[in-house]
Structure 1
Amino acid sequence: MSEAVADLVHGPMRRGRVVAGTRLALYVTTGDPGRPAVALIHPDAVRVPNGILLPRAAPPRPRPGTPAVIGAGRVTVGPWCVRAEGSWAPPRAQGLLTGPVRADRCAELAHAAGPGGPELAGLRAALRADDPERIVGAGRALVGRGPGLTPSGDDVLCGALLARHATGRPTGALAAAVRDAEARTPLVSAALLRHAVRGECIPQLASVMADLASPSPLDVRPLLAVGHHSGADLARGVVMGLASVVSTCDCADRI
């Protein structure tokens, strides 16, 4: 179980419901504004910062709307109960970089992520200018943009938030842009945005960001393998979030 949600799981009983499920994860509401969902994840799934690890033999996927109860050290979904045993600390972007971001590593990441759509131009320019008002407006325009449980716009915003945390830049404008995300995007994605606001991320992204200050070439393959598009979109967001600190590199212009 992720330490980011441990107090919810070990705290008083709270009612929730299943909101979505995939082959490797089941998402349950919590009623907590800062952590609106937990993810019950298969051992082969990406370890999201709100994850609770399932036994390998998981039951059939419950339907959305199935009642759930969280608390007292367990999560109950319909007739099925998972007891929380053990924990891990989700990676935090703060402190990942042990030196200045290298322009060549940033360029590698931009190349690996590939170009995004024209909808990213507003946020890219706002982040490069480090203009809080423009960042809020451009960020809001991306919330919920794209298909899936984690739309591309949300993944880009997560990446940008985490890059700002890692480089010590203010995150208030981006946090303001996603403040009402629960009303504008799937709850699964809104929950991950909440964790990104705190600097919590997946291990694949943490590994890439830590290497941005390294002389060694990046290994972006594990990150790009995340989801159908999420890994590439997270990478694009990171590159855009670095735009105001990597002045010698035009890598953000390639996203």
Structure 2
Amino acid sequence: MQIRAAASSALRDLLAGPPVPARLLGSGPYALYLGTDDAVVAVLARDAVRLPCSLTLSTSSAELPLTSLDVRDAVSVGEGAIRWTGRAGPGAVLVARHWAPARVRKGTSIPIDRWRSALSAFDCGVEARLIGGLTVGSCDLAGSLLGRGPGLTPAGDDVLAGFLLGTRALGVPAGPLGRFVAEQAPAATTALSAQLLRHAIRGECVPQVGAALASPGDTSALVALLAVGHTSGTALARGLLRAAEYAAGVGAATTTAATTTAA
């Protein structure tokens, strides 16, 4: 079996390089996740949420459930393909073209009161006190969030990803926090979540985050983000909102300091 796919440009070097071994991390109708020593690669059905570390197929999860791919232990990634050997013989997902992952752009603003109201009915499973304490220097608190919650992308990680994406979009440097997360995530959470956090540090995200930040006053874009996964969309939105609250506080503090100095 050979299937053609479109690959994220973030995976270009890995996919074009020499073959490296990979292991199966998990699979479902919408997605199949593979891990190498340095990265996670997702193979996604057309109707899955497009991750920045993925190859997307032209088929839907109904047309070709990803659980039907007989991927076994002998998997390799490289030379323009993902290849494996299954009970029915060899299989491959071939890279036919590339696409650019969604990215957050600097210069946005989030209507804090409107987002607070919209999120009030949604619970991502992370305590409000932890989310409310996030700052660009709160590495200890970030350590408590890493890996917090079940699943391939724990809610605590999604909150952190949202906060890192939000501070970047709002023009607030998050250097200390970003460095801490990059260093600690591989040992503190799942391989997929650590990969997505690395993307968030670079400003790469799922399209729903990009759309919500591009049109922060558009209720439909926020609703689409909240619909992502079981809690992922809500947790990402909570992190984005916290970034806006933090950015507003930093701006207020800066204005107050400047006024005091001038006086």
| Higher RCO, 1 vs 2 (CA within 8 Å, ≥6 residues apart) | 1
* TM-score between both structures, scaled by the size of structure 1: 0.83
Identity of aligned residues (%): 36
Q: Structure 1, residues 164-213: CA drift from partner, whole Å, max 9, x if none?
A: 1111211222223322212221111111111111110011011101123x
CA contact (8 A) 1:15 1:68 kept: yes
Of 101, 104, 111, 1:93 maps to 104
Corresponding residue of 2:146: 143
Q: 1:76 deviation in Å?
A: 1.1
User: Per the alignment, do residues 156 and 118 of structure 1 end up closer, same or farther by CA in structure 2, a change over 3 Å counting?
Assistant: closer
Corresponding residue of 1:68: 75
Q: Structure 1, residues 79-111: CA drift from partner, whole Å, max 9, x if none?
A: 32000011111111133x3x5x25xx2222233
Corresponding residue of 1:51: 54
User: Per the alignment, do residues 197 and 94 of structure 1 end up closer, same or farther by CA in structure 2, a change over 3 Å counting?
Assistant: same
Corresponding residue of 1:108: 114
Could you say which structure has the higher strand fraction?
Answer: 2
Q: 1:120 deviation in Å?
A: 4.2
Q: 1:118 deviation in Å?
A: 6.5
Q: Structure 1, residues 124-173: CA drift from partner, whole Å, max 9, x if none?
A: 2342xx5x1xx111111100001111111000000001001111211222
CA contact (8 A) 1:91 1:206 kept: yes
Corresponding residue of 1:161: 164
Q: 1:53 deviation in Å?
A: 1.1
Of 185, 188, 196, 1:184 maps to 188
User: Per the alignment, do residues 118 and 198 of structure 1 end up closer, same or farther by CA in structure 2, a change over 3 Å counting?
Assistant: closer
* TM-score between both structures, scaled by the size of structure 2: 0.80
Matched residues in 2 for 1:85 and 1:221: separation?
32
Matched residues in 1 for 2:23 and 2:219: separation?
44
Matched residues in 2 for 1:190 and 1:42: separation?
22
Corresponding residue of 2:261: none
Does residue 207 of structure 2 align to residue 200 of structure 1?
A: no
Corresponding residue of 2:229: 227
Matched residues in 2 for 1:12 and 1:3: separation?
17
User: Per the alignment, do residues 184 and 217 of structure 1 end up closer, same or farther by CA in structure 2, a change over 3 Å counting?
Assistant: closer
In structure 2, what residue type is equivalent to 1:184?
A: A
Which protein is bigger by CA-based radius of gyration?
A: 2
Corresponding residue of 1:251: none
Does residue 133 of structure 2 align to residue 125 of structure 1?
A: yes
What root-mean-square deviation, in Å, do the aligned CA atoms of Structure 1 and Structure 2 show? 2.3
Matched residues in 2 for 1:22 and 1:58: separation?
7
Corresponding residue of 2:214: 210
CA contact (8 A) 1:46 1:202 kept: yes
Q: 1:225 deviation in Å?
A: 1.2
- Give 3-state SS (helix, strand or coil) of 1:5's partner: helix
Matched residues in 1 for 2:126 and 2:25: separation?
31
In structure 2, what residue type is equivalent to 1:28?
A: L
Does residue 251 of structure 2 align to residue 244 of structure 1?
A: no
The 5 Å alignment of 1:76-87 reads 76-78=83-85, 79-87=90-98
Corresponding residue of 2:258: none
Question: Which segments of 5 or more consecutive residues in structure 1 lack a partner in the other structure?
Answer: 249-255
Q: 1:37 deviation in Å?
A: 0.2
Q: 1:12 deviation in Å?
A: 1.6
Q: 1:217 deviation in Å?
A: 4.6
Does residue 18 of structure 2 align to residue 15 of structure 1?
A: no
Matched residues in 1 for 2:100 and 2:149: separation?
30
